[in-house]
Chain A
Amino acid sequence: MSLRNVGIVYRKELTEALRDRRTLVSSILIPLFLFPILTFGIGYAFVEIAGEATREPSKIMILGGEDSPDVVKDLRVARNLRVVRRSADYVDLISDKKIRAAVDIPPGFQAGIMRGDHPEVKIYIFKDDLKSMLGASRIEKLFTEYRDAMVRARLASENLPESLMKPFDIDQQNVVSDEKVAGESYGGLITYLVILMCMTGAMYPAMDLTAGEKERGTMETILSSPIGRTHLVFGKFLVVLTASLATATLSVISMGGSFAILSRFARDQSMGEGFPMLTMHPKTVLAVFIMALPVAVLFSAVLMTISLFAKTFKEAQSYLTPMTFVVIVPAIAAVLPGIELTSKLALVPILNVSLLCKELVTGTYHWNYIALIFFCTCLYAGVALFLAVKMFQRESVLFSS
């Protein structure tokens, strides 16, 4: 193996790739700008919508309650509620989102409570609709306060302590580091992103350097030069790998940056509570990249081998599009909650790395899995690379006509 020859091919192919608009857009521009736009777009929309919903009073309807003036008055004066005129078609109004909720106060509600009956208040809602749920919780809060006040008054009238109402407290406390919390929230997403970007970055150069070379008629030119075909494949492969890793790196940097800015923005808006900060140690980032390396090798070699069968760039695209799904499905599977790494899953390509990296991001290092998965992926990558070299030796593939 002559490194000099591989280097010559690498330098030339890289020069050409950097002069190709399609490669530049897909490998550099998209990862750099997609995430800030996505993060800020979605984040801004979320903050705006959530903000609007919390500022705006919920339109509700009161059904019944003529003989319970106190609660009706509380509902009417509540700042975050706006009571509309009663009508019989409240179900349609809720379905059409004209009102957010309706509260059904049974006849003789206040009197019933005094007698010691156990009346029930019904709140009609549009399940899982954000604004309807918000309206309902506002109504419920009001009734809960009304109930608590009543209990307090009764306790006081009997000269009993208030603590009788609540004999003990419950408090949930987080004992896990911020790093792990952030990893649990974003770990799957980051891993998914790295894997997907390894693929996206490799795609255009892989097609351009194989099918593109055939389409432009330069395959015969290069094959007539003294360079050995193995050197040629390695030179090309390294360029595809470079693009793959560059895209993955750029997207993680750009996503990390966007998240950092977004979480600062959210904190400034005093919405920082419950918004886990994306903090990752350089060590973790490095670990994820080391695991991503054989994955990038695998993608680069597989994509190159497949596109070599195509005669044109377009044909290669139609072969590689289904490949995208083959990669996305296991990567998504790892993001789903509940799937954990087992020794069987550790053998499934892509899914294994995806699951492992998710754990790495939370700061958990299972060294036996790390070794097994790294070895496995290297093995798959080696096989793919071997196939790419073999395909470059086949005349029927190089000169398919």
Chain B
Amino acid sequence: MIEVRNLSKYFRDKKRGEIRAVDDVSFRCLPGQIYGLLGANGAGKTTTLRMLATILQPTGGTAVVSGHDIVEHPEKVRADVGFLSTATALYPRLTARELVQYFGRLNGLDDAILKARVDKIFDRLDMNGFRDRRCDKLSTGMKQKTSIARTLVHDPAVMIFDEPTLGLDIMTARTITSFIRECRDLGKTVIFSTHIMSEVEKLCDVIGIIQNGKLLAEGSLQQLREKYGEQDLEEIFVKVVAPHYVPSEDH
């Protein structure tokens, strides 16, 4: 479970002054559901998710992730979160197995449990063919599987995906989307950000539309369709965002 309360993040920029990357955002994600954060580039998706993963500290507000406050107990939050984004690369000089073991150890798993866990994950994701190959020698698909194994090794209750399919080919992207679905079926709380409408339509139980750091609309696909009188998610998105749209300088 994730409960976001008035979360804000401001950055200082020499030229533009104060930037409100995330501005007083509140929402809630429940276990066994996928929450999709939909927004253009620079809308505040990444900053929000990085704060939930406690990689960044909020300027104001807070969130409770899996029962722990992100400001008070960031280490406990991270121990129960799996975080995956296109920016979370792998250590090139470690083998797939060493990498997953490293993150298992950082999560406090002892060697016996770690071995059993790693064997199980490698079997399930069909990774035994390249378990002892260095990460810099892996194909994109193999890298994605290794990243998935990394996020799963400590069996977290909450999964955070930040644009996980960005720049991936269709087959690799499908590995990720089916993995996201699997997480939901296992009863995990899943939040993921994207700007790809079809992914949201296919995957999300709840959709939040974010622009300029503000959460502008929220609800299931059905609820949004009824509220804005449009069938197509892209039309809904444009209707929500257009009045607030300022071309972003970010990215």
Give A residues with C-beta under 8 Å from B: 5, 8-9, 12, 15-16, 19-20, 216-218, 220-221, 223-228, 395, 399
- Is the beta-carbon distance between A221 and B150 smaller than 8 angstroms? yes
CB pair B85 A8 closer than 8 Å: no
* CB < 8 Å neighbour of A226 from B50, B78, B98: B78
With A225-B103, A225-B107 known as contacts, the answer to whether A220 contacts B55 (CB < 8 A) is: yes
> Which 4 residue pairs are nearest across A and B when measured between Cβ atoms?
A217-B89, A224-B83, A221-B88, A226-B79
Q: Which residues of B contact A15 (CB under 8 A)?
A: 93-94, 98
The answer, among A19, A20, A218, A223, for a CB contact under 8 Å with B90, is A218
Residue of B57, B76, B88, B105 touching A224 (CB-CB under 8 A): B88
Total A-B residue contacts, Cβ distance less than 8 Å: 65
**Within 8 Å CB of B54, what residues of A?**
224
Sample of 19 A–B contacts (CB below 8 Å): A20-B93, A217-B87, A217-B88, A217-B89, A218-B88, A218-B89, A220-B50, A220-B55, A220-B89, A221-B89, A223-B55, A224-B78, A224-B81, A224-B83, A226-B76, A226-B107, A226-B154, A227-B106, A395-B56
Q: Are B88 and A8 in contact (CB under 8 A)?
A: no
Interface status of B108 (Cβ within 8 A of chain A): yes
Q: How far is the CA of A15 from the CA of B134 in the complex (A)?
A: 12
Q: Chain B: which residue is nearest A9 at the CB level?
A: B106
Extra contacts besides A8-B106, A19-B134, A221-B150 (19): CB < 8 Å = A8-B102, A12-B102, A15-B94, A16-B91, A16-B93, A16-B94, A19-B93, A216-B91, A217-B87, A218-B91, A220-B88, A221-B88, A221-B89, A225-B78, A225-B107, A226-B76, A226-B108, A227-B106, A395-B57
Q: Which single residue of chain B is at the shortest CB-CB distance from A399?
A: B56
A218 to B108, CA, bound (A): 20
Cβ-based interface call for B176 (8 A) = no
**Roughly how many angstroms separate A223 CA and B105 CA in the complex, as a whole number?**
14
In the assembled complex, the Cα of A218 lies from the Cα of B87 at a distance in Å of 8
Known: A20-B93, A217-B88. A224 touches B79 (CB 8 A): no
Interface residues on B, range: 20 to 34
- Across the interface, do A216 and B98 meet the contact criterion of CB distance under 8 Å? no
A41 → chain B closest CB, angstroms: 34
- What chain B residues lie within 8 Å of A218 (beta carbons)? 88-91
Q: Which of B79, B93, B108 has the most CB of A within 10 A?
A: B93
Chain B residues with Cβ below 8 Å from A399 are 56
CB of B53 within 8 Å of the partner chain = yes
Contacts of B81 in A (CB 8 A): 224
Q: Is B92 an interface residue (CB 8 A)?
A: yes
User: For residue A228, which residues in chain B have a CB less than 8 angstroms away from its CB?
Assistant: 75
A residues in contact with B87, CB < 8 Å = 217, 220
A155 to B50, CA, bound (A): 103
User: Which of chain A's residues have a CB closer than 8 A to the CB of B154?
Assistant: 226
Nearest A residue to B80 via CB reads A226
For residue A1, give the distance in angstroms from its CB to the closest CB of chain B. 13
Contact flags B91-117 to A (C-beta < 8 A → 1, else 0): 111100010001101111000000000
Expressed in whole angstroms, the minimum distance between the Cβ of A336 and any Cβ of chain B is 43
Q: How far is the CB of A209 from chain B (nearest CB, A)?
A: 11
Q: Tell me, rounded to whole Å, the shortest Cβ–Cβ distance linking A235 to chain B.
A: 10
Closest residue to B108 on the A side, CB-wise?
A226
CB distance from A354 to the nearest CB of B (A): 35
Q: Which residue of A lies closest to B160 (CB)?
A: A224
Asked if residues A8 and B105 are in contact (CB atoms below 8 Å), the reply is yes
User: CB-CB < 8 A to B85: which residues of A?
Assistant: 220
B88, chain A: closest CB distance, angstroms: 4
Question: Complex Cα distance A237/B108, Å?
Answer: 21
Q: Bound complex: CA of A189 vs CA of B78, how far in Å?
A: 50
Complex formed: what's the CA distance from A107 to B108 in Å? 99
CA distance in complex: A223, B53 (Å):
9
- Residue on A nearest B78 in the bound complex, by CB: A226
CB distance from A3 to the nearest CB of B (A): 13
Residue of B nearest to A216 (CB): B89
Whether the pair A226, B91 counts as a contact (CB closer than 8 A) is: no
Alpha-carbon distance between A9 and B83 when the two chains are bound, in angstroms: 19
- Residues A225 and B106 in contact in the complex (CB < 8 Å), given A16-B91, A20-B93, A216-B89: yes
Q: Mark B194-211, 1 if CB is under 8 A from A, else 0.
A: 000000000000000000
